[in-house]
């Protein structure tokens, strides 16, 4: 049994509670009710269901993710672990756009370096 | 016909032949230039390859490799990758006979043409490691040019400055890039004075594609020349606003640890800025969370959910996934294993995981090599090089992160199997070009770990007394 | 659509008997066959004229014409074993026979409902693997079903029980003892939701075991009374024994109703003797004969409860399913062992089919083919659960034609329950033309809602569809996967794709790396990606269910080792698998998965494996006794006991019993796993001993011949060895030992005496070298060098000798020859 995805990047982003837009205190029926609703909305392609909020910003939602989230939360043992990782409140506002990382050198990469040799690729 | 006239004819013919031979040896060195400058840039793969067969002087030990190299240069010059031609070239390379550096560079160019840039880079480095007699200058020059171009395109100017002026292999192009970079970055080149404006212009003038290198020249000329090395004053990096602020959760150790964790693991490419201090801070935050609050929280929920899992067991699982994440994080950010081990607590657990992962990777590949050597399952020479590269990369990565401790630990097994492998390549397969550098590598490693027995053996193999 | 129109079909395709049921959202009705019975024996007969009969009519011939009458083919599902009908010369695969049974049930449903059902749910045993599941789907397709979903039998039983029982919350055990398989599942219901907690079972335990126990008893009685010895392994007695077995089964079933019965068969023949059988059998005798098998089933139950931490008395309910669970003795044993009486009022023979029908509603699998009615009014696209445990589920909808405007287009909607006691407020459609509404349901029945619409000016708009129906009741949402699926790697590990219990359909992609170079165009080089199913960590212990092969011949470019492959595995709701591998480097995609069948268990192979396992057991036992490893001896004792049964099965397999062959194959895998764990237990002390000896030896040589830095490194390594030993970490211990040995070797090599010893050691072993002739010469050279006192030459000889040693015999990976990691 694993506590969510092995990829640390997805551990928060794919947490079932965030996917379903629920908090860890919610009841079992809430999981089914929300999941069912979201599946319906996604099937109809409604915009309001297309993304969900996490503490790190919005993520795209898909029917696969919703079904997996419901299955995960049905088992109390797994739910216990997911609850732990859903402690942080999802961010209310969309995140500020991140500035691109500053280049380390004051000389930009030379995009034409290969071409300058007459090598078209890579 | 009289004897004299016959003799005269013979002398005439001989003289003519000698004159032709002289003429040929005068123009033969030019032939490579013709191929590089005229034939290859037009993408004429087969023509270049055929012409290169005449370059006896340049590639006398490795005509096949030289021909493939010429072809590969032409392949690289084509607008789109042509798999048919690439395969044809590979076929030329795959013919029996030992592989030389020219062949390796050709394989590198083919790989690059297919978009396998990492593999190409490895192969170019391999070519640089070949013994001089198996590595014609022309091939080494191309390899170096490729490596420099590759570094320049990635913005790795340090490498450009180092390789660009390397003796024997530097070309006009690489020298220009190195000098221009040194000027702009206000850094000195090894054993080279900084270039004057006129010097820079001259170097630029000799680059094959002045149009493309011109902006770099202008940028370099715009930077004042510095005589002495002076480090650029590092500008304080502007802190990007974090997508999430752990300080908000300072009151709750569990939430704080999670927020910090999320910041480093989940935020896009945040690990690039991770320092050992940061990592230690993260480990400390988790240790504080695990010291009590996390268990209390879980225990409360176990009651509500009535799980089969006990709170302690759940905590252990969480702890394990945190350790997994920390190990992955350290591995990505290339933070030494010791930083994790010294952090203690969950950090030390992560250290053990990472250590095992590094060692296992090397052991797996080493075993595969051992098996193949033992069963004498041959691969095409270029593939042999690639397999070795991949093992070496895993090993060097383990050394980079694990330091001398892992180096010592891995070496006995590596030495045993790599040495057998190199011997197989040398004795049975006559691939001197590949196995020579293997012995040299083993010697360097043996010296680094102080394995006296291996040092003696490898000295003998390398031929150094 | 109104509730009267809803029809959901469920089918229990059993080993012995099959049943069909229909559910209308309110109640479940069993489908009766032409004989008026809800139970159709899973028996197919093809007579000499090629006429095919199914069910009770076929079953009658099981005794008189067994060769042309086939039952129990469910156990062969997913194997390539074709069954022959000699009289007609026909040959049928197991799924074709299953399809005949399904076709007959489908006809019965048609007779009852008046239309041909196009969709249905079919139940399968919880432990069915992919090849078996896909064979079942295939059977349904052959029988003419348009779409089917598979549901695990215990879930079906629990759903049916939950539908009947009002207060269904708590932990349940479903005890399903069938003709030849035993399944037990632990389920839990809370808030109207059913969840599978876990299952266990024995694929080779069932009513048949009772029958055989009675037969064995009867044979003993016959021997006493008639002095005739009948043997089950003698094929000359097979016909007689078959008759006795059928009589035994009849008597067993009879004893479920009455206290005492008799087994009477006239004119039994053995050789040239003929006699009448008449034996009295009572419940007490039956209990004595059956209790070992019942105990075995109870042990499985206890194991399951323990695995999931259910305390004694923690069960709320036990549901008993399957023919043998009708037997009073079985019910008594179960309720005594589990502390709860079996739930009454449920029909053990048809519960599975009922549950399958209810599940069809949950899955929205209406049996009737969709009618193409002309649509009128304002068209709405609706999403809602066909069946819901929630009393206030959501209905989501959207206008099909969003751009349209005018008086025929609704801007507001309202839902009204048909009983008129609940309606929603008027809901305005949002800018996407969509709405989300919560509706209120009445418990445990179909709820019909009318959909009403208003346009912008408040005028009524006709909505299409005008109504929707939601059934309230116990549900389970997605069918869970029965066994973990993953990819076997070259290191004999399993890269898990889907864990047991994962909801279907499912899709997952992982990046794998090749371990060997595959040269383009080379037909010999091939990468195999084996897909396995099972709960073991070691790949070779899991069942191989499919393989993706990438051969050099189809490659567009050579794939160096370490090439990344993105392997995607996809499972649909029916458990059918597909896989594709993408090579991102070249963009090439490989999709043809070799779908494997359950491996046939050839008797000769089984026999060889049996011999091998006996040999291994013997070795391990001798070794364990010598070293006095009590724990190991214990484990081996169990293996030995199991070998007795195994030998019987292998014997039966040789006599042509395909079922016994499958059973033997399974047991072999399990015994193999046990022996493996024994070897692990054993290896540690060995390694520890090696470590101790290595440290002692190294201390001496390094002390004498080691350089300064070697001395300090040795001290460090010795500490690390100790640490690994304390931490019982075999891998780490081996690493440190290598380093230690290397140090000792280097130091030792400075001592000429050591080389002499090494030479003597190598010289003894020349028989085992790869080239004994060359070794012989080398030894001679060595002796000369020794005589000359030429240390350097001796050293060279020893090294050459070492090169000739064969190295450890390679276990080329057990992991099904996997080419990825
Ligand atoms: N009334 C009864 N009393 C005792 N045993 C019975 C009774 N009725 C049937 N059986 C036995 O039950 C067995 C068949 O059970 P069942 O029909 O449940 O199996 P199945 O569903 O076909 O098998 P499976 O579930 O393994 O696919 C046979 O061994 C039969 O002898
Ligand atoms: Mg059954």
Give CA–CA dist A70/C477, Å, rounded.
9
C574-592 b/e with 16+ CB inside 10 Å = b?
bbbbbbbbbbebbeeebee
Query: Mind listing the pLDDT tens digit for each residue in B15-28?
Result: 888 888 777 777 77
Q: How far is the CA of C311 from the centre of ligand 2 (A)?
A: 28
User: Under an 8 A CB cutoff, do B364 and C585 touch?
Assistant: no
Tokens of B204: 């630029």
Q: C467 is in which domain, residue-wise?
A: 378-476
Total number of domains constituting chain C: 5
pLDDT at C548: 85
SS3 C185: strand
| Span between the terminal Cα atoms of chain B, in Å | 65
How far does residue B324's CA lie from ligand 2's centre (Å)?
44
CA-nearest residue for atom 19, ligand 1, is: C178
Q: What DSSP designation does A102 have?
A: P
Mutation for testing the A interface, residue in B218, B286, B304, B317 having most A CBs under 10 Å: B317
Query: If you average pLDDT over every residue of chain A, what do you get?
Result: 81
Residue in chain A nearest C384 by alpha carbon: A40
- The pLDDT tens digits for A96-113 are 555 444 444 467 788 778
Which pLDDT score is estimated for C143? 95
Min Cα distance C536 → chain A (Å) is 14
Please name the residue whose Cα sits nearest to atom 14 of ligand 1: C179
Distance C543 CA to ligand 1 centre (A): 28
Residues of chain B with pLDDT > 70: what percent? Answer: 93
> What's the pLDDT at B242?
67
- Name every residue in C having a CB less than 8 A away from some CB of B: 197, 308-309, 491, 515-517, 519-520, 556-558, 560-562, 585-586, 707, 709-710, 713, 731-732, 735-736, 738-739, 741-742, 745-746, 749, 807, 810, 812, 821
Question: Is residue C591 situated within a structural domain?
Answer: no
CB-CB under 8 Å, B409 with C739: yes
CB contact under 8 A, C308 and B452: no
**Neighboring chains of B (3 or more beta-carbon pairs < 8 A):** A, C
Query: Which candidate from C519, C558, C561 shows the least CB-CB separation from B387?
Result: C561
Q: For residue B173, what is the nearest residue in chain A, using CA coordinates?
A: A117
Residues C51 and C143 in one domain: yes
- Closest residue of C to A28, CA-based? C191
Q: Per-block average pLDDT, block size 10, for chain C (821 residues)?
A: 70 94 91 94 93 93 87 84 88 94 96 92 85 89 92 89 80 90 87 80 85 92 86 77 90 93 86 86 94 92 87 89 94 93 91 94 82 71 88 91 76 91 91 91 89 88 87 76 84 83 80 79 78 80 80 79 84 76 83 64 78 84 79 81 82 72 77 77 81 88 83 86 84 83 80 83 75 85 88 81 58 50 64
Nearest CB partner across the interface for A44, out of C389, C434, C503? C434
Q: Beta strand pairing status for A57-60 and C43-46?
A: unpaired
Q: Is A63 on the interface with C (CB under 8 A)?
A: no
How many whole angstroms from C183 Cα to the centroid of ligand 1? 13
Q: Averaged over B41-50, what is the pLDDT?
A: 81
Residue nearest atom 1 of ligand 1, based on CA coordinates: C253
Q: Distance, CA C344 to ligand 1 centroid (Å)?
A: 18
Is omega for the bond preceding B132 within 30 degrees of 0, making it cis? no
Tokens of C76: 């062969």
Whether residues C26 and C158 share a domain: the answer is yes
From C332, C362, C392, give the residue that closes a domain.
C362
DSSP H stretches of helix in chain A: 8-13, 16-20, 28-43, 63-74, 76-84
**Looking at the domain assignment, is residue C579 inside a domain?**
no
Nearest CB to B266: which of A9, A99, A110? A9
* Residue C809: predicted pLDDT: 37
Q: What is the pLDDT of residue A92?
A: 67
Q: Which atom of ligand 1 is nearest to the CA of C324?
A: 5
pLDDT tens digits for range B340-381: 888 878 998 899 889 888 988 898 888 888 888 887 887 778
Q: Report the relative pairing of strands C394-399 and C378-383 from DSSP bridges.
A: antiparallel
Q: Angle at Cα C788 formed by Cα C787 and Cα C791, nearest 5°?
A: 100
Both C700 and C785 in one domain: the answer is: yes
Q: What is the pLDDT of residue B57?
A: 63
Residue A100 Ramachandran class (φ > 0 left, ψ -120 to 50 alpha, else beta): beta
Asked whether residue B241 carries a pLDDT value surpassing 90, the answer given is no
User: Which of B354, B360, B363, B408 is the mutation pick for testing C, counting most C CBs within 10 A?
Assistant: B408
Cα–Cα distance for residue pair A81/A66, rounded to 1 Å: 18
Of all ligands present, the nearest one to the C-alpha of C74 is 1
pLDDT in tens, B261-313: 988 887 777 777 888 899 999 999 999 999 888 888 888 888 888 777 788 88
pLDDT: which is higher, C184 or B137:
C184
**Yes or no, beta carbons of B207 and A116 under 8 Å apart:** yes
Residues C160 and C176 in one domain: no
Does residue C492 lie within any of the structural domains? Answer: no
Q: Which residues of A touch B306 (CB under 8 A)?
A: 76
Residue at which a domain ends, from C682, C701, C727: C682
Domain ranges within chain B, ordered by starting residue: 1-153, 155-228, 246-335, 352-462
Closest ligand 1 atom number to CA of residue C181 = 26
Residues 63-122 of A with CB under 8 A from B: 76-77, 79-81, 83-85, 87-88, 91, 95-96, 98-99, 101-122
Residue B378, classified by CB atoms within 10 Å of its CB into exposed (0-12), middle (13-18) or buried (19+), is middle
Å from CA of C324 to ligand 1 middle: 5
CATH number for A8-85 (one of 1.10.287, 1.25.10, 1.10.3470, 2.70.98): it is: 1.10.287
Chains that touch C (3 or more CB pairs under 8 A): A, B
Question: Residues C351, C390: one domain?
Answer: no
- In the reported structure, the alpha carbon of residue C325 is separated from the centroid of ligand 1 by a whole-number distance in angstroms of 8
Confidence of residue B446 (pLDDT cuts 50, 70, 90): very high
Residue of A nearest to C479 (CA): A71
Q: How many CA atoms lie within 13 A of C666 on its CB side?
A: 15
Mapping DSSP onto H, E and C, the string for C610-644 reads HHHHHHHHHHHHHHHHHHCCHHHHHHHHHHHHHHH
Helix and strand numbers (H, E) in chain B are 20, 0
- What are the pocket residues of ligand 1 if the criterion is a CB atom closer than 6 Å to any ligand atom? C 14-17, 74, 178-181, 206-208, 249, 252-253, 256, 322-324, 326-327
For C302, counting Cβ atoms within 10 Å of its Cβ (0-12 exposed, 13-18 middle, 19+ buried), the class is middle
Please list every residue in chain C whose beta carbon sits closer than 8 Å to the beta carbon of residue A48: 430, 432
The secondary structure of C696-730 as a DSSP string is HHHHHHHHHH--HHHHHHHHHHHHHHHHHHHTT-H
Of A8, A110, A122, which is closest to B112 when you measure between CB atoms? A122
Q: Which residue of chain B has the CA closest to A101?
A: B240
Confidence of residue B224 (pLDDT cuts 50, 70, 90): confident
From ligand 2's centre to the CA of C172, what distance in Å?
A: 18
The ligand that comes nearest to the alpha carbon of residue C322 is: 1
- Chain segment A34-48, per-residue pLDDT in tens: 999 999 999 999 998
pTM for this model (two decimals): 0.78
Q: Which ligand is nearest to the CA of C331?
A: 1
C106 and C82 belong to one structural domain = yes
Of C560, C735, C810, the CB nearest to B359: C735
Atom of ligand 1 minimally distant from the CA of C352: 21
Dist CA C333 CA C294 (whole Å): 8
Using CA coordinates, name the residue in chain B closest to C520. Answer: B87
Residues C59 and C95 grouped into a single domain: yes
Instruction: Specify the pLDDT at position C291.
Output: 93
Helix (H) or strand (E) holding B84: helix B83-94
């Amino acid at each position: 049994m694993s506590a969510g995805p092995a990829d640390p990047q997805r551990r928060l982003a794919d947490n079932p509670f965030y996917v379903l837009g629920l908090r860890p205190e919610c009841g079992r029926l809430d999981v089914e009710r929300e999941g069912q609703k979201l599946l319906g909305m996604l099937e109809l392609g409604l915009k309001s269901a297309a993304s969900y909020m996490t503490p790190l910003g919005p993520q795209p939602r898909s029917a696969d993710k919703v079904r997996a989230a419901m299955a995960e939360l049905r088992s109390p043992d797994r739910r216990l672990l997911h609850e732990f990782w859903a402690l942080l409140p999802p961010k209310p506002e969309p995140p500020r756009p991140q500035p691109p990382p500053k280049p380390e050198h004051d000389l930009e990469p030379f995009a034409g370096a290969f071409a300058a040799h007459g090598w078209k690729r890579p | 016909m009289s004897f004299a006239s016959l003799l005269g004819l013979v002398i005439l013919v001989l003289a003519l032949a000698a004159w032709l031979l002289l003429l040929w040896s005068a123009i033969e060195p030019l032939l490579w230039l013709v191929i590089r400058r005229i034939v290859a840039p037009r993408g004429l793969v087969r023509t270049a390859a055929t012409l290169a067969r005449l370059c006896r002087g340049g590639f006398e030990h490795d005509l096949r490799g030289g021909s493939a190299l010429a072809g590969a240069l032409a392949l690289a010059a084509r607008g789109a990758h042509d798999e048919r031609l690439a395969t044809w070239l590979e076929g030329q390379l795959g013919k029996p006979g030992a592989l030389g550096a020219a062949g390796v560079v050709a394989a590198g160019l083919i790989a690059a043409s297919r978009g396998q840039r990492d593999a190409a880079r490895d192969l170019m480095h391999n070519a640089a490691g070949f013994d001089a007699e198996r590595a014609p200058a022309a091939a080494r020059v191309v390899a170096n040019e490729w490596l420099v171009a590759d570094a320049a395109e990635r913005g790795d100017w340090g490498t450009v400055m180092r390789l660009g002026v390397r003796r024997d292999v530097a070309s006009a192009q690489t020298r220009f890039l190195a000098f221009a970079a040194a000027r702009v970055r206000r850094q000195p080149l090894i054993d080279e004075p900084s270039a004057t404006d006129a010097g820079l212009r001259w170097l630029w003038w000799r680059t094959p594609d002045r149009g493309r290198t011109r902006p770099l020249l202008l940028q370099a000329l715009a930077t004042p020349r510095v005589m002495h090395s002076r480090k650029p004053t590092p500008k304080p990096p502007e802190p990007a606003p974090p997508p999430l602020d752990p300080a908000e959760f300072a009151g709750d150790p569990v939430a704080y640890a999670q927020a910090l964790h999320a910041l480093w693991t989940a935020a896009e490419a945040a690990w690039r800025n991770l320092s050992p201090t940061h990592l230690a801070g993260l480990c400390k935050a988790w240790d504080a969370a695990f010291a009590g609050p996390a268990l209390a929280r879980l225990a409360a929920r176990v009651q509500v959910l009535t799980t089969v899992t006990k709170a302690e067991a759940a905590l252990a699982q969480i702890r394990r996934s945190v350790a997994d994440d920390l190990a992955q994080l350290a591995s990505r950010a290339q933070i030494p294993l010791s930083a994790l081990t010294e952090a203690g607590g969950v950090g030390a657990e992560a250290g053990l995981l990472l250590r095992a992962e590094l060692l296992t990777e090397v052991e797996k590949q080493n075993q595969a090599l051992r098996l193949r050597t033992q069963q004498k399952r041959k691969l095409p020479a270029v593939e042999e090089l690639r397999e070795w590269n991949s093992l070496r990369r895993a090993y060097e990565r383990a050394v980079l992160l694990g330091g001398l401790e892992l180096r010592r630990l891995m070496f006995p097994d590596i030495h045993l199997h790599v040495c057998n492998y190199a011997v197989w390549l040398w004795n049975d397969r006559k691939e001197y070009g590949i196995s020579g550098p293997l012995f040299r590598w083993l010697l360097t490693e043996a010296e680094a770990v102080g394995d006296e027995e291996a040092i003696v053996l490898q000295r003998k193999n390398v031929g150094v007394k | 659509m109104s509730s009267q129109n809803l029809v959901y079909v469920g089918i229990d395709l059993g080993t012995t008997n099959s049943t069909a049921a229909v559910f209308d959202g309110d109640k479940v009705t069993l489908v009766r066959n032409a004989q008026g019975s809800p139970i159709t024996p899973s028996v197919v007969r093809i007579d000499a004229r090629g006429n095919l009969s199914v069910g009770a009519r076929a079953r009658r011939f099981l005794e008189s014409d067994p060769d042309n009458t086939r039952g129990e083919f469910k156990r062969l599902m997913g194997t390539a074993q074709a069954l022959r009908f000699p009289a007609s010369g026909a040959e049928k695969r197991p799924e074709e026979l299953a399809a005949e049974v399904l076709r007959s049930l489908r006809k019965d449903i048609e007779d009852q409902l008046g239309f041909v059902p196009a969709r249905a749910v079919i139940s399968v045993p919880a432990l069915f693997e992919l090849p078996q599941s896909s064979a079942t789907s295939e059977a349904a397709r052959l029988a003419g079903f348009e779409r089917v979903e598979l549901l695990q039998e215990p879930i079906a039983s629990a759903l049916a029980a939950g539908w009947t029982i009002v207060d269904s919350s708590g932990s349940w055990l479903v005890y399903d003892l069938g003709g030849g398989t035993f399944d037990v599942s632990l389920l839990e219901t809370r808030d109207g939701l059913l969840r599978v907690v876990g299952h266990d079972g024995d694929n080779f335990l069932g009513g048949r075991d009772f029958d055989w126990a009675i037969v064995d008893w009867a044979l003993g009685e016959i021997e006493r009374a008639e002095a005739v010895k009948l043997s089950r392994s003698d094929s000359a007695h097979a016909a007689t024994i078959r008759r006795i077995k059928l009589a035994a089964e009849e008597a067993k079933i009879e004893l479920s109703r009455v206290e005492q019965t008799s087994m009477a068969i006239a004119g039994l023949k053995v050789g040239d003797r003929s006699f009448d059988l008449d034996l009295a059998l009572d419940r007490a005798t039956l209990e004595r004969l059956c209790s070992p098998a019942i105990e075995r089933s109870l042990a499985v139950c206890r194991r399951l409860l323990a695995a999931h931490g259910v305390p004694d008395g923690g069960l709320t309910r036990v549901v008993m399913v399957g023919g043998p669970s009708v037997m009073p003795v079985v019910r008594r044993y179960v309720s005594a062992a589990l502390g709860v009486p079996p739930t009454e009022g449920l029909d053990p023979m048809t519960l599975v089919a009922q549950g399958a029908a209810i599940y069809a509603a949950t899955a929205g699998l209406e049996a009737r083919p969709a009618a193409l009615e002309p649509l009128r009014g304002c068209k709405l696209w609706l999403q809602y659960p066909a069946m819901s445990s929630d009393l206030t589920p959501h209905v989501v909808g959207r206008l099909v034609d969003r751009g349209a405007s005018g008086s025929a287009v609704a801007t507001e909607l309202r839902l009204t329950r048909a009983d008129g006691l609940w309606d929603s407020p008027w809901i305005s459609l949002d800018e996407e033309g969509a709405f989300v509404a919560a509706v209120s349901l009445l418990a445990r029945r179909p709820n019909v809602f009318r959909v009403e619409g208003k346009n912008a000016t408040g005028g009524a708009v006709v909505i299409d569809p005008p109504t929707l129906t939601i059934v309230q009741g116990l549900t389970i949402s997605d069918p869970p996967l029965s066994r973990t699926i993953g990819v076997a790697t070259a290191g004999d590990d399993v890269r898990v794709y889907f864990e047991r219990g994962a909801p279907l359909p499912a899709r997952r992609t992982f990046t794998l790396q090749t371990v060997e170079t595959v040269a383009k165009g080379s037909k010999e080089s091939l990468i195999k990606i084996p897909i396995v199913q099972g709960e073991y960590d070691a790949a070779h212990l899991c069942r191989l269910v499919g393989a993706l092969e990438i051969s050099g011949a189809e490659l567009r470019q050579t794939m160096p080792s370490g090439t990344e492959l993105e392997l995607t595995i996809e499972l649909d709701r029916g458990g059918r698998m597909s896989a594709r591998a993408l090579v991102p480097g070249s963009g090439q995609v490989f999709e043809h998965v070799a779908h494997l069948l359950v491996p046939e268990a050839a008797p000769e192979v089984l026999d060889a494996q049996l011999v091998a396992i006996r040999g291994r057991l013997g070795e391990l036992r001798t070794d364990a006794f010598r070293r006095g490893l009590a724990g190991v001896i214990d484990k081996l004792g169990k293996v030995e006991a199991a070998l007795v049964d195994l030998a019987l099965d292998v014997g039966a397999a040789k006599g042509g019993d395909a079922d016994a062959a499958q059973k033997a194959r399974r047991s072999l895998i399990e015994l193999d796993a046990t022996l493996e764990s024994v070897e692990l237990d054993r290896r540690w002390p060995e390694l520890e001993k090696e470590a101790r000896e290595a440290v002692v030896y190294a201390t001496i040589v390094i002390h004498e011949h080691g350089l300064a830095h070697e001395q300090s490194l040795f001290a460090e390594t010795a500490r690390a060895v100790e640490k690994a030993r304390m931490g019982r970490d075999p891998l780490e211990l081996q690493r440190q030992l290598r380093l230690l040995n290397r140090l000792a070797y280097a130091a030792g090599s400075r001592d000429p005496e050591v080389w002499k010893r090494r030479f003597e050691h190598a010289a003894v072993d020349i028989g085992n070298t790869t080239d004994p002739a060359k070794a012989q010469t080398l030894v001679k050279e060595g002796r000369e060098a020794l005589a000359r006192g030429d240390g350097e030459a001796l050293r060279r000889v020893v090294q050459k000798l070492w090169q000739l040693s064969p190295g450890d015999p390679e276990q080329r990976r057990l992991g099904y020859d996997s080419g990825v990691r």
